[in-house]
Structure 1
Amino acid sequence: MSDSPETSAPPATTPATNQADRADQSDWRSLDKDLTRLNQVERVTGFVVRPLFGVGLALAFMLLAGLVAALVLGTAPTTVMAAAAAIFGAYLAINIGANDVANNMGPAVGAKALPMAAALIAAALAETAGALLGGSEVVATVSQRLIHPAAISAPDVLIKAMMAAMAASALWVNLATWIGAPVSTTQSIIGAIIGASIAAVGFGAVDWITFSSIAASWMLSPLIGAGLAMALLALIQRLISSQPDKMAAACRWVPVFLGGMGGAFGMFFTLKLPDTLYAPPPGVALAVGGLAGLMSFAIARPVIRRRGDELENQKGAIKALFRLPLVIAAILMSFAHGANDIANAIGPLATIVQALGQTDSAGLRPFAPLHVPFWVLSIGALGMAMGVLLFGPRLISMVGTQITKLNPMRAYCVSTSAALTVIVASWLGLPVSSTHVAVGAVFGVGFYREHMAAQARR
C-alpha cells in the first residue's frame, strides 16, 4: 500500500519564471509607450490637418464657382475669362465673410449671450438670407462713384482692372484675417479699384472729390459710433442701473429700448431698399420705423416682464435681460450686412460678367445699372457664409473680448449704436465702414467704462 497522498504545494519559483514575468512587464511598458507615441502623432496630425481642411473646402468652393460660370456661359469665347473672374469673386466673398462677421457677432460672443458655434451658424444663415433676399439688385456703386464714366470705355481694360481689384482686395483681407486684424472690406475694394484704375488709365480716371467725401466719412464714422455707444450706455445706467428698484426699472425701460431698436432697423431696411425697387422719402422711412418700433415694444413688453419675474432674485439679472435684445440685434445686423455689403464681393464680378456679354459697336457702357444673375448672387452669398463658418472665430474673439470686457448690456449698446450710425450715414448719403463703426462703438463703451471706474475711485 502506498503512503497517503502528499499535500499539494505551490509550484516553486524558478529563475526562468522570474525572467518571463519581467519580460511580460517590459512588453506592457513598451506597448504603453507605443500607444502614447501614437496618441501624440494623432494630436499633431489633427493640429496640422484641421486648418488645411478649411483651406481645402475654400479652394473646392472657388473651383466650383468657376465651373458654374463655365457651365452657365457655355461655349462662349469669354468663358475662360468669366470662370477666372468667378474664382476671384468667390475668393473675395470668402474673405469678406471671414473678416466682417466680427462686426456683427463679436459683441454677442464677447458678452457670452451666444456661444461661438451658435454665433457662427446664426451669422452664416443671416448673411446668406440677407444676400439672397435683399441683394438681388446689386449695383457696382463704388465703381460708378469713384470712376469717371468716360474714363474706361474699352471692355478688356475694364475687365483687367476689375479682376486686379478683386485679387488685390481679397489678398489684403485674407492677410488681415490671418493676423487677426479687423479691416474694412469696403475700403479694401475701393482702394483696389482706385489703384487698378490708375494703373490702367491714369489719375484722371478717379473722381477725387467723391473719394474725398468717402474718406471723410471713414474718419467720422468710428467717432459717431463711439459717441452713440457712450450716450446709450450712460442713458441705460441713469434709467436702470442707478435706480433703487433696478428690476422694476429694467422691466419698464428694456421694452422701450427694444422698440427703439426695432424702429431703427425698420428705418434701416427701408432706406436700404434698392432704388430700382423703391426709393423711399425720409417721411416714409420714418413712418415704417415708427410702426416697427411700436410692434417691437408691444411684443417685447410681456416677454421682458415674464423674464424679469424669473430672474428677480438672481445675481446679474439686469444684465441678463439684455441678452435677448443683443442676440436679435446681432442677427439683424448680419442680415443687413449680407443684403448690402455683398456688393463688395460680387460688384466687380457682376461688372465683368456684364462687360463680357454686353458690348456693341458703340463700345462698352460699363456704368449702366447692373442686373446681377442669380448664379453670381449665389457665389457671393455662399462664399460669405463659408468664410463665416471656416475662418470667422479669430476675428469674433478679437472684437468681442480683446478690446474691452463686454457684458450683455454693453454689447447691446455696441450693436444698436452701430445700426444707428449706419442709418444716419444713409440719410447723409455717406458710405461708411461697418468694421470701423463696430470697433469705434466697442472703444466708446470701453472708454466710458474706464471713465466711470476712475470716477468711482475718487
Structure 2
Amino acid sequence: MSQPNDADHMETLDRDLKRFGSLESAAIYSSRPLIGVGLSLVFIGLAALFAGLSPVGSESGLFVIIAAGLGAYMALNIGANDVANNMGPAVGAKALSMAGAIAIAAICESAGALLAGGDVVSTISKGIIDPAGLSETRTFIWAMMAALLSAALWVNLATWVGAPVSTTHSVVGGVMGAGIAAAGIGAVNWPTMGAIAASWVISPVLGGIIAAAVLAFIKWKIIYVEDKIAAARRWVPVLIGLMSAAFGAYLALKGLKKIVHVDMGTALLIGAVLGTVVAALSRPLIHRQAEGLENRNKSLKVLFRLPLVLSAALLSFAHGANDVANAVGPLAAIVHAQQAGDFAAKVSIPLWVMVIGALGISFGLVFFGPKLIRMVGGQITKLNPMRAYCVALSAATTVIVASWLGLPVSSTHIAVGGVFGVGFFREWHAERRVRRLSGSRPNARPLPREERKRRKLVRRSHFLTIIAAWVITVPAAAMMSAVCFYFLAKMLG
C-alpha cells in the first residue's frame, strides 16, 4: 500500500483549514447581533453607573440611576430606528457606503445633539397631560420612567420587525398612557392628541407630494430633453441652491434654538441668502463635473451625489439637535423633580444627560442601524441619486411648511413618505407611458393582472407594514406605558 505523500498531506490540511475558516466566518456572522446587544447592555450599565457616581445621582438616589439607564436604552433605539430615515436614501442610491453613512451620521448626530440640542425641553411632552393630575413628585417620576421604558420597548420592537416609526410619537404615547394610568382619562389634552393624530396623515402625504413634484421637475427639465448634460448644467445648480435654502431655513428654525431664537421670516431670509450664494458657487463645480459626460441618464447621477451626501449630513445634524430630547427629556424631568422636590412645565437638560443621549444615538446607529438603512434605502422602492435627492429636499421643505402652518409633524413619516412618493410617482409615470405606447398600437393587448402586479415599483408588503406600525404607535406605546406605570408603582412604591 502506498504511503500518502507530502502533497496529499498539504491538500488535506488546506481542506481542514478551509472548513475551520468557514466555521469561524459563520460564527462571527451569527454572533454579530449578540455583540451589538452585549455592547448596548454595557453602555446602559455605564450610563446608570455614571449617573450614580455623579453628584446628582448620589444625592437623588435610585430613581435617577434607573432613569439614566432607561434614557440610554431609548437613545440606542432612536439611533437604531430614526437615523435610517436620513441615511437610507443616500445608501440606497449608492452615493454613500454603509460604513461611510454610519460614520457621517454618528458624527453629525452627536454634533447636533451637543452643539445645537435644545437646552430646555417640555417635561410633559407638548402639553399632552394636565400637570395637575400628577401632583405628587413620586407619581410624576413613575410616569416619566414608564413613558421612557414603553417608548424604548416599542421602538425596539419596530426596529426588530423592520418598520421605521416616529420616536416622537412613541414618547407621546408613553406620556399619554402613563398619565391616564396615574390620573385618569380626563387628564389627557385630547385636542393636542387630535393634532398629533392628524400628523400621521399630513406628514407622509406632504413629504410624498413634494418629493414626487421635485422628481417630476427633474424628469421634465433634465431627463426628457435632447441635451441632458446642458440641461443639467443649467438646472442642477438651481436645485442645489433650492436644497441649500431649504436646509438653511430648516437649521435656522430647528438647529439654532440653543444659540439664538429665530422666527419664520428670519429663517426664510437666511435660507434665501444661503441658497443664492450656494447656487452661484456650485455652478462652476457642476460645469467641471459635467465635462466629458455622455448624454445619457446614467451620467446625470454623478452630478447629484455630492448634494445628496451633504443633505444626509445636514439632516442628521438637525435630527440630533431635535430628537435627542425624546431620549433625555423625561430623564431631565426626573433629575429636576428629584433635586427640586417638584416638577415644572419646562426644565433645563444637564450636560451629562445630553452626553448620554448623543452617545446612545450614535451607538444605536452603529450596532443596529444597518437593517433599517437598507430597508428605507432599497427595499421600499429602488432609489438612485436623483430620486434620493428628491426625498432629502422634501424632508427639509416639509418641516418648514409644517412649522409655518403650525402643524406637528414627524421627521420619520416625512422621510419615508418621500420615498413612497417617489416610488408611486414612478409607478404612475411608467403606467402612463405604457398606456401611451398601447394607444399608438391599436392591436396591442393589455398586460395581464399578474404582470401588472409584478411591475409595481413600490413593494406593497413594506408599505402596509409601515403604515400599520405608524397607526398603532401611539396606542401601543400608551398601553405599554400604563402597564409599566402600574408595575413601577408596585415595585418602587
TM-score, normalised to structure 1, is 0.90
Q: State the percentage of identical aligned residues.
A: 54
Specify which of 331, 344, 353 is matched with residue 366 of structure 1.
344
Q: What's the secondary structure of 1:370's corresponding residue?
A: strand
Q: For structure 1, which runs of at least 5 residues remain unmatched after alignment?
A: 1-17
Contact 2:112-2:320 within 8 A present in 1 as well: yes
Which residue number corresponds to residue 248 of structure 1?
A: 230
Specify which of 349, 355, 375 is matched with residue 398 of structure 1.
375
Q: Does 1:166 align with 2:148?
A: yes
Contact 1:136-1:377 within 8 A present in 2 as well: no
Which residue number corresponds to residue 52 of structure 2?
A: 70
Which residue number corresponds to residue 327 of structure 2?
A: 345
Specify which of 276, 279, 287 is matched with residue 261 of structure 2.
279
Q: What's the secondary structure of 1:404's corresponding residue?
A: coil
Contact 1:109-1:119 within 8 A present in 2 as well: yes
Q: What do residues 177-212 of structure 1 show as CA deviations (whole Å, max 9, x unaligned)?
A: 122111111111111111111111111221111111
Structure 1 letter corresponding to 2:371: R
Contact 2:289-2:303 within 8 A present in 1 as well: yes
Specify which of 45, 51, 62 is matched with residue 27 of structure 2.
45
Q: Does 1:204 align with 2:186?
A: yes
Contact 2:81-2:165 within 8 A present in 1 as well: yes
Specify which of 262, 274, 283 is matched with residue 292 of structure 1.
274
The 1:152–1:275 alpha-carbon spacing in structure 2 relative to 1, beyond 3 Å, is farther
The 1:380–1:139 alpha-carbon spacing in structure 2 relative to 1, beyond 3 Å, is same
What is the alpha-carbon distance in structure 2 between the residues aligned to residue 28 and residue 312 of structure 1? Answer: 53
Q: What's the secondary structure of 1:325's corresponding residue?
A: helix
Q: What do residues 281-303 of structure 1 show as CA deviations (whole Å, max 9, x unaligned)?
A: 33212211111111211221111
TM-aligned CA deviation for residue 28 of structure 1: 6.3
TM-aligned CA deviation for residue 44 of structure 1: 3.4
The 1:135–1:229 alpha-carbon spacing in structure 2 relative to 1, beyond 3 Å, is same
Which residue number corresponds to residue 423 of structure 1?
A: 400
Structure 1 letter corresponding to 2:93: A
TM-aligned CA deviation for residue 34 of structure 1: 4.4
What is the alpha-carbon distance in structure 2 between the residues aligned to residue 285 and residue 27 of structure 1? Answer: 74
Which residue number corresponds to residue 7 of structure 1?
A: none
TM-aligned CA deviation for residue 426 of structure 1: 1.4
Specify which of 56, 77, 83 is matched with residue 65 of structure 2.
83
Which residue number corresponds to residue 170 of structure 2?
A: 188
TM-aligned CA deviation for residue 344 of structure 1: 0.8
TM-aligned CA deviation for residue 126 of structure 1: 0.7
Which residue number corresponds to residue 286 of structure 2?
A: 304
Which residue number corresponds to residue 416 of structure 2?
A: 439
Structure 1 letter corresponding to 2:290: G
Structure 2 letter corresponding to 1:306: R
Q: Does 1:235 align with 2:217?
A: yes
Which residue number corresponds to residue 383 of structure 1?
A: 360
Q: What's the secondary structure of 2:355's corresponding residue?
A: helix
Taking the TM superposition and a 5 Å limit, the aligned residue runs for 1:114-193 are: 114-140=96-122, 143-193=125-175
**Which piece of structure 1 moves more, 299-308 or 86-95?**
299-308
What is the alpha-carbon distance in structure 2 between the residues aligned to residue 258 and residue 24 of structure 1? Answer: 66
Which residue number corresponds to residue 456 of structure 2?
A: none
What is the alpha-carbon distance in structure 2 between the residues aligned to residue 438 and residue 56 of structure 1? Answer: 31
TM-score, normalised to structure 2, is 0.84
Which residue number corresponds to residue 429 of structure 2?
A: 452
Contact 2:123-2:333 within 8 A present in 1 as well: no
What is the alpha-carbon distance in structure 2 between the residues aligned to residue 226 and residue 209 of structure 1? Answer: 26
TM-aligned CA deviation for residue 313 of structure 1: 5.8
Output the aligned Cα RMSD: 2.0
What is the alpha-carbon distance in structure 2 between the residues aligned to residue 101 and residue 302 of structure 1? Answer: 33
Which residue number corresponds to residue 8 of structure 1?
A: none
What is the alpha-carbon distance in structure 2 between the residues aligned to residue 90 and residue 142 of structure 1? Answer: 19
TM-aligned CA deviation for residue 85 of structure 1: 0.6
Which residue number corresponds to residue 204 of structure 2?
A: 222
Bigger Rg, which one: 1
Which residue number corresponds to residue 305 of structure 2?
A: 323
Structure 1 letter corresponding to 2:417: G
Specify which of 215, 236, 246 is matched with residue 264 of structure 1.
246
The 1:456–1:66 alpha-carbon spacing in structure 2 relative to 1, beyond 3 Å, is same
